[in-house]
Amino acid sequence: MAHPTGYTRAQIALHWITVVLVALQFILHDAMSEAWDAVEDGLEVVFSPLVAQHVFMGALIAIVTFIRLGLRLTHGAPPPPEREHPALKILAHAAHWAFYGLLIALPVSGAVAWFNGIEPAAEAHEVLKTLLLALIVLHVAAALVHQFIFKTNLMARMKRPVG
C-alpha cells in the first residue's frame, strides 16, 4: 500500500462531506424509524420527504465511500505518526477500514430492509448504526488525544492537502 506524505484535496473534502452526511442521517432518522414501524404494523407507508432523505442520503454515503475506497487504494494514506505505540497503529488502521466496511454495510442493510421488507436486515441496520456511533466516538477521541495530548498535530492531515 502506498504511503504518501498526506491526504489529497479530494480525500479531505470527501472525509468532511461524509461527516456532514452521516450526522444528518443520525439527526433526521425519526421519520424513517416511524415509517418502518408502520411497515411492521402492516400499515400504509407514505414516502415522505424525510423518508426519501434517509434513502437518498444513505445511497449517497455509499457512493462517496466507494469513491473514497478507490482513492485510498490508488493514492494510499499517510503512515501513522512515528512515535505512536505499535498497538495504537494497528488499532487506527483497523478503525479506518472498519469505517469503510460500516459505511457500505449500513446502506446495504437499510436498502434490503426497506425495499424487501426484511426484518432481520432492519435489525442488522440498528446494530451497525450503534457500531458506527461507537467508532465515531472512539475516532474523535483519538483525534483529540493526538492533537492535544500526544501533540502530533494529526488534525493538519485532514485540513492541508498534498499532491
Least distance between ligand HEM and beta carbon 112 (Å)? 8
User: Can you say whether the dihedral through the CA atoms of 133, 34, 64, 10 is positive or negative?
Assistant: negative
Q: Which residues bind ligand HEM (CB under 6 A)?
A: 15, 18-19, 22, 25-26, 29, 32-33, 36, 54-55, 58-59, 61, 72, 77-78, 80, 92, 96, 99-100, 103, 106-107, 110-111, 113-114, 122, 125-126, 129, 136, 139-140, 143, 154-155, 157-158
Least distance between ligand HEM and beta carbon 125 (Å)? 4
Least distance between ligand HEM and beta carbon 19 (Å)? 4
Q: Are 37 and 51 in contact (CB under 8 A)?
A: no
Q: From residue 132, give the alpha-carbon distance in Å to each of 3, 81, 84, 102.
A: 26, 24, 24, 7
Please say which residue, 46 or 155, places its beta carbon nearer to ligand HEM: 155
Report the alpha-carbon distance of residue 22 to residue 20 in Å, rounded: 6
Please say which residue, 15 or 50, places its beta carbon nearer to ligand HEM: 15
Neighbours of 79 (CB within 10 A): 12
> Would you state the cell numbers that stand for residue 133, as one nine-digit string?
456511533
